[in-house]
Structure 1
Amino acid sequence: MTERVYYTSDALEMETDVVSCTRQEDGRFHVVLSATLFHPQGGGQPSDRGTINGVPLLQAIQDGHTLVHIMEGPVQPGKAHLLVDAEVRNLHTRYHSAGHIIGLAGEKFGWLGVKGNHKPGDGRIVFDALATPEPMTIEALATEIGALVQRSESRIITEAEGKRLVTWGTLKPYACGGTHVLNTAEIGDIRLIKMKEKKGQLSVQYELDA
């Protein structure tokens, strides 16, 4: 099983070992590492990009219990140097963190975030209504979100009952395997684009500056 170093480290470079490299019918290569810094597609967060021994990583995915690195070319088994694309990681991290903040803000009005898409350009949080949700406008939600970001709370990562919990300062923690900013202020302005309620669910679209 691949060690997910990004769970505990924000490093963008490291040395590891290539366990296997298998050519696929489409001409790409599936690489399995002993340890990785690359966050795979999942949890609403897009895959990291970068290189392994200089070979471009197209996408990292979870295939059952195996984390697979889909590569543009072959990478020989043995020692390997990983380099994460810092610009892509930073944008994905800010979008994912923004999703947490939107979810926390929604709970103040009686809405529970149940699903999120943190892809840049298509950010979206879906809420279910709790017992008796309060009336909420896009303006009211935006105000609460802005206040949470501006608290400049520092990230805290803990573990409980085998789950990785992520939060900032005294905010409510969420179980999450994604990457997150060190301080809420790093997220920047969160712009709410659209809010739509349908069949008891509330969908909120959002975007950030690149």
Structure 2
Amino acid sequence: MTKKLYLYSPELGADVEVLSCREIDSGRYAVRLDVTPFYPQGGGQPSDVGSIGDAQVLHVVTENDDVIHYVNQLIPLGKAIAQVSANVRNLHSTLHSAGHLLAHVLVSQGWLAIKAHHWPGEARVVFKASTDIPAIDLEVAAVQQLCDAAIAQDLPCKITINENQYRQVTFGEYTPYGCGGTHVNSTGELAGLRVVSMKFKKGQLTFNYDVEPVITSVEQQQ
């Protein structure tokens, strides 16, 4: 079982042990580590990229209890340094947190978030109506204002992990969501959030959004 460091810490670098490295096709290898700072694709968030030793990490996935890192060259077994790309992590964390914030503000208005996708260029959150929707103008500009108000409060990100390793994430006092993804430190880092469009179809309300990442404390650690 790979220990997932990203669940507990924003650190992007780590000393790791390469447990296995096997060629899966021409010029691509699958690597298992004892611990990893790399976030594997899942939960609506793309995987981290970066490096392990001299090898470039192209993609990361979960297989059973292990995290598999796909790299571009053979890596010797033993000690190595793993390094996540700060720019890519920042973009993915900002998109994921922006999706959570969009969900929080719409849920606070009586909608129910049912699914989300946080990929660059195609980020969206989908809602359905609750039984009692309060009167609110659901124009894009109005929802943008709700998000901007929460951003201006600079609400801290709160992450909790219980004894069963169930992880929950929220901002400020919003109701937490179960989530294994990476996030910014507070809503103040989401100033680049832009609600792009909305569509209501077959009882579902979809908001598309994008972000313009800003420099975060995570990047400043690099």
TM-score, normalised on structure 1?
Answer: 0.95
**Residues 89-104 of structure 1 mapped to structure 2, 5 A cutoff:** 89-104=89-104
SS at match of 2:89: helix
Q: Percent same amino acid at aligned positions? A: 38
User: 2-side partners of 1:42 and 1:149: how far apart?
Assistant: 26
Query: Is 2:147 the counterpart of 1:140?
Result: no
Task: Report the CA distance between 1:54 and its aligned residue.
Answer: 2.0
Query: What is the number of equivalent residue pairs in this alignment?
Result: 210
Name 2:153's counterpart in structure 1. 151
Name 2:61's counterpart in structure 1. 61
Name 2:188's counterpart in structure 1. 185
User: 2-side partners of 1:154 and 1:109: how far apart?
Assistant: 21
Contact map agreement 2:123 2:208 (CA 8 A) in 1:
yes
CA deviation profile, 1:36-90 (whole Å, cap 9, x unmatched): 0000111111111100002100000112332110111111111110111111111
Q: What is the letter of the counterpart of residue 64 of structure 2?
A: G
Task: Report the CA distance between 1:25 and its aligned residue.
Answer: 2.6
Name 1:196's counterpart in structure 2. 199
Q: Which moved more, 1:89-98 or 1:152-161?
A: 152-161
User: 2-side partners of 1:168 and 1:47: how far apart?
Assistant: 23
**Residues 1-210 of structure 1 mapped to structure 2, 5 A cutoff:** 1-134=1-134, 135=136, 136-160=138-162, 162-210=165-213
Contact map agreement 1:15 1:82 (CA 8 A) in 2:
yes
Misfit runs of 4+, over 4 Å: none
Contact map agreement 1:28 1:70 (CA 8 A) in 2:
yes
User: 1-side partners of 2:56 and 2:117: how far apart?
Assistant: 25
CA-atom RMSD, angstroms? 1.4
Q: Which ranges in structure 2 are unaligned for 5 or more consecutive residues?
A: 214-222
User: 2-side partners of 1:137 and 1:155: how far apart?
Assistant: 27
